[in-house]
Amino acid sequence: MNNHLLFDFNVDKAAKTIFITREFNAGLSLVWDAFTKQELLDRWAAPAPMRCKTKYMNFEVGGRRFYAMISPEGQERWVIQEYTSITPKTNFKLHNAFADQDENPELPGSEWDHNFSEQNGVTTVNISIFNESLERMEKLSDGFRKGYILMLENLEELFATLAQEL
Amino acid sequence: MKQDIFQAIADPTRRAILTLLTIQALTPNVMAEKFDMSRQAVSKHIKVLQECELIKPVPSGREIHYYFNVKKMQEFDIWLAQLKQNWETQFNQLDELLSTIKEQKI
């Protein structure tokens, strides 16, 4: 369906920055809304089988989106995204940090920059993510992934035990 | 404090040392010669690279050869590939959402 749409993912390790470019087959207003409105973000912004749920969101400079990434088993990983700059339908920047469920951030986080442009009904989104420590980011997200794998393994063990009992 | 890979490779001299080590293992003396640096300066770079496990020392006789630790770099690349996959999955979900909304509007 979307194989003609551009997707680029580049990492500059020395500059500690990830560059992402993606085209969408939709107008600028709609794509902007998908990135900046809570009810739309919650419908796409976590890779399946994970999902995300926004607790609250104020899309304004100094405002925040506080949301949870939720695994199929219900394990939650909280994230704070604080908006540092907004130019409507053109650009917004945010500071991203993992957090606990009481909204205490695990610093340092990363700086995200989003740029939007439209040509012939196709909207291009450029995202750059600067992280003071990509390795630390790896550890944080890796801890979550490992927890998730561990839970799956527990489940497999449980199934095996149940099968023996039957 | 333990060194971060990215702090380690942000330095051009350390990147050059790593590049050389991908070709062959070297002793600190040879490194100092190749880069025209003092033994002290080389030791400092080695310490940083070793702390983040990008190189590993292997003693041979009275000397120590430093090797490039390929595995450390690969671990990170695997994680990045996973991250890329996650973004791709999310964007495909967004494609579907966008087309659903567009259909509703028509």
**Residue A24 burial (C-beta neighbours within 10 Å; 0-12, 13-18, 19+):** buried
Which of A14, A25, A30 shows the shortest C-beta gap to B9? A14
Residue B75 has pLDDT above 90, yes or no: no
**Residue A107 burial (C-beta neighbours within 10 Å; 0-12, 13-18, 19+):** exposed
Question: What is the C-alpha separation between A157 and A153, in angstroms, rounded?
Answer: 6
- Tell me how far the alpha carbon of residue A85 is from its chain's centroid: 18
Question: What ipTM describes this predicted complex?
Answer: 0.73
Among A11, A13, A30, A123, most B C-beta atoms within 10 A, so best to mutate, is: A13
Domain assignments of chain A as residue spans, ordered by start: 7-165
The per-residue pLDDT for range B2-57, each reduced to its tens digit, is 567 767 777 888 888 888 888 888 999 999 998 889 999 999 999 999 988 889 99
In chain A, which residues have their Cβ closer than 8 Å to the Cβ of B88? 7, 9
Q: Confirm if A118 and A28 have CB atoms less than 8 A apart.
A: yes
Check CB contact of B93 with chain A, cutoff 8 Å: yes
Q: Which pTM was predicted?
A: 0.70
More confident residue, B1 or A127: A127
- The CATH-assigned architecture of domain A7-165 is 2-Layer Sandwich (3.30)
pLDDT at A67: 96
pLDDT band at A20 (very low <50, low <70, confident <90, very high): very high
Question: What is the C-alpha separation between A104 and B53, in angstroms, rounded?
Answer: 31
